[in-house]
Structure 1
Amino acid sequence: LFDRIRNDKDLRNNTLVLICSDNGPEQGAGSAGPFRGHKTHLYEGGIRSSLIAWGPGIVTRTNAVDTTSVFSAIDLVPTLLDITATKHPQDTTFDGESLASVFTGDGQSRTAPIFFRRPPDRDSYYGVDDLPDLAMRQGKWKLLCEYNGSSPELYDLDSDRGETTDVAAQHPNVAQGMTSAVVDWHQSMPQDNGATYRLKPKKKGRSR
């Protein structure tokens, strides 16, 4: 496929190939490197995903690794619309931002926060008895807390990408503001039954 694109002038100049990974490794089936946690966790090891962009006529830097840009999957649609010079639908408002320079290799980060909510059946997982329910990333700050905003944890990802040192006590205004924002977002979303998931009876499977 790559040779086919390289050897065709038209394809070479107007093709972008994106390779995306799933988020976080299962415990024992992969490594999150320097990041904390595994799949289903809201720590960086559970939510980060790899993204590879390749296109000889579009990506201006070759063999470059961007470790600083903050980009979410919800940014894909507006970004690809702009890269392909496609008009945005007038009746649609995107949660994502257009970050075309991430793909060209020049780097850029979204300015809006990213909100996360853990899978509703994973409050206790991989040996952790009480995992945070909500998380929020804004700039260098990462906050995690319970559904009601209790037990906030705050990390500076610029200096502590492994989320080893909770600095909520040192930055109470940041922690309080982000906690309010992520709880408000959670309450604005459709219910995922996180708090009552385990109380529901299991469906009986059909016998064959």
Structure 2
Amino acid sequence: MIVIVFTNSSAQYTIAEEPKPNLIFILVDDQGYYDLGCYGGKEFDTPRIDRMAQEGILFTDYYAAAPICSPSRAGILTGCYPRRVGLATWVQRADSRKGIHPDELTLAELLKSSGYATACIGKWHLGYLPPFLPRQQGFDHYFGLLHNLDPVEVVYFENEGGVPLMRNEEVFKQPADPAALTEVYTDEAISFIRENRDRPFFLYLPHTMAHNPLGVTDDFRGKSRFGLYGDVIQCLDHHVGRLFDTLQELSIDDRTLVVYASDNGRGPGRTADQPIRGNKLTTLEGGIRVPCIAWGPGLGIKAGQTSSQLIHAMDWYPTFATFAGVKVPEGRVIDGRDITPLLEGRCETVPSATAELSLNASVPLRRPWNPPGEWEQIVSREEYHQAFFYHGSLGSLAAVRWENWKLQLNPNFQLFDLEEDPGETKPVRNPELIRKLRGMAILFQEEMRTGTRPAGESPLSK
């Protein structure tokens, strides 16, 4: 922004940069599609997140990168399908030798290079060994659990006093208390916000809840109409509200973008008007379609909007970069699309990469495109970029979605119209569409065959 100051004798020109916005990504664990009031949940009260939706944009067709923890997180932080970065399979427990490869450019590293203070507060689950820890992946500050607290992970720490709650490389508390985590994470997040109120910051807040074992403080126990899980959701809502209160108190709410999403689904709908089926780990809609809300009225994000556009977790990488005024470096191939124009209400759909309506709009064009003759006339580059490729918890391609059409690939091709049948109960006979989406799947498999990068492994191979 150029500010022109006039004096009696001449015009003086002062260059003043617009302050970079603050960026907050709240990631909830294992929250189902219908498990907020604004998504139709009737068993619990979520007034603060509902208000966030009223003042922002709610996505009805938003997809996690995977139906399981670690790959889902890899998708957010790299902007890539987990398979592209070698992290599509299962989870990274305490005996894992894998993590995000040091050659990957995480969202935190990209923003840090542009002057952002960066923090990861919460569950990491992307590698336990030193090269893969949060502070080696672009985060200035870390507070949280590197693991889950379920029995298959707690066993690794039985002789060490339990799973530790970490602050950077030091043990803050051991063992961690699941009932206290949502509150202490939020306390730490608020401290980080206060400490960095005068500079741009990126806060990645991946909550441990609502992953089993569930836990809440006594003031939330028994308050919902859906048992302990409902209590957890209401507890999360309260502490999300504390973050918004802090932003307002510090008068930085008008220059902050907040995204709320779940890392994967939990289970099917519970009433007749909640048709989605499927559980976590599956690629039915209930396993991977999740709540997502974006809020930032001071940054031009349209208030009170509901979007049925197909959006996925990888899209936040180039979008956050655009809000920060940072170009994704040339040569960096990712799978996310810059959805800034959609958030700002400049268009109602995700714009074409060729339209160049935002700073990182053209990033998808870095993905290779040379379809063989069989598919050249059936699938366009634009259609391919706007598709979503579902991967199961074991990393294999399971389905393709384009527009409202979903093609399940196994055990046989089944086509569903998700607009009319989100429960995937009525297969549609349409050979042309089946062929089109099958072609997308084949092209994607070839792209992954030639474009997959290795995960980091320790010791790292040279």
- TM-score, scaled to structure 2: 0.34
Which ranges in structure 1 are unaligned for 5 or more consecutive residues? 122-131, 191-208
Identify the residue that residue 329 of structure 2 maps to in structure 1.
89
- Alignment deviations for residues 131-176 of structure 1 (CA, whole Å, 9 cap, x no partner): x961001111111112xxx610101122222222100x2x101102
Secondary structure at 1:57's aligned position in 2?
helix
User: Which residues of 2 match residues 22-33 of structure 1 at below 5 A?
Assistant: 22-26=263-267, 33=274
Q: Answer yes or no: is the 8 Å Cα contact 1:78–1:98 preserved in 2.
A: yes
In the alignment, the residues of structure 2 paired with residue 155 and residue 173 of structure 1 have an alpha-carbon distance, to the nearest angstrom, of 13
1:75 and 1:98 in contact (8 A); partners too: yes
**More relative contact order in 1 or in 2 (CA 8 Å, sep 6+)?**
2
Offset at residue 51 of structure 1 (A): 1.2
Contact 1:144 1:154 in 2 (8 A): yes
Q: Which residue is 2:448 aligned to? A: 189
Cα RMSD after superposing both structures: 2.8
- 1:137 is aligned to 2:379: no
Aligned length: 171
Structure 1 distance, partners of 2:290, 2:260, is 10
Pair 1:178–1:57, CA change in 2 (3 A): same
Structure in which a larger fraction of residues adopt strand:
2
Which letter maps to 2:317?
V
Contact 1:154 1:175 in 2 (8 A): yes
Deviation readout 1:114-147 (Å, 9 max, x if unpaired): 11222239xxxxxxxxxx961001111111112x
Alpha-carbon distance in 1 for matches of 2:277, 2:300: 31
The amino acid of 2:391's aligned partner reads R
SS of residue in 1 equivalent to 2:306: coil
Query: What is the Cα deviation at residue 31 of structure 1?
Result: 5.4
Q: SS at 2:427's partner residue?
A: coil
Query: Cα 1:31–1:96, aligned 2, differ >3 Å: closer, same or farther?
Result: farther
- Give CA-to-partner distance per residue, 1:174-194, whole Å, 9 cap, x none: 10221232144235536xxxx
Q: CA deviation at 1:16?
A: 0.8
Sequence identity (%): 30
One of 381, 391, 395 as aligned partner of 1:117:
391
Contact 1:136 / 1:178 at 8 angstroms: preserved in 2?
yes
* Aligned counterparts, 1:95-174, within 5 A: 95-104=335-344, 107-109=348-350, 112-120=386-394, 134-146=398-410, 151-167=412-428, 169=429, 171-174=430-433
Q: 1:2 is matched with which residue: 244, 249, 266?
A: 244
Matched, 1:79 2:319: yes
Give secondary structure in 2 for the equivalent of 1:181: helix
Q: Which has the larger radius of gyration?
A: 2
